[in-house]
Structure 1
């Protein structure tokens, strides 16, 4: 039997990941060694600036912020993995999640989600999340 909670969690993580795909592409332009240094030196302001500048072309101001926490995973013979704790602040919902960046992929894991006036039906809340993310995205002029 399928766990309904996991089904909704996976769908919500997919929505967040798809909604932030351009921002994640920008975040991946930063060298992993820079993230490692910033995390190890508690230079969270530097990461916050990177997140803010990466989001400014794609999301409304203040929608995405660095939650001043993260981890780096380094081992001999493998590429580094960077985990950044981020917060998506939307009018209808707040999402705290961990973004994992590797050399070849990115992944989103939601740690906490809070809906303003949540519906008893989880699928309705998931639809609200999708609409809120879409409303937060910046509209760009069509390419010619």
Structure 2
């Protein structure tokens, strides 16, 4: 019996965006194209929601540019938002009926895992990176 192949080759994209709320929609469309190209249709809706929340926070709460980073390696798909503010995301969630601040609650509910880390100035892009992962095993491999 033949052994299964190693699966799809890992890939990574980074979309750098200006500090402009319209960039969130542009990134959602690019994300949809990228996931469709890589045959991951089951990730389209949750990934769009998560990218919208992470990038929306980056644009809403910081003053500089941002980036959406996408990566698949093995069974996990990671997306994240980099921004120029090193301040950690909040560790508590607002009440469910509050007007703002529900984004990380959605990330926590939809992502299989998430976290953040500060990015040092030595890397050339100081700030923070908030990431989340989705299980990509359900896509063809």
TM-score grouping bracket, smaller chain normalisation: 0.3 to 0.5
TM-score by length of 1: 0.35
Which structure shows the bigger proportion of residues in helix conformation?
1
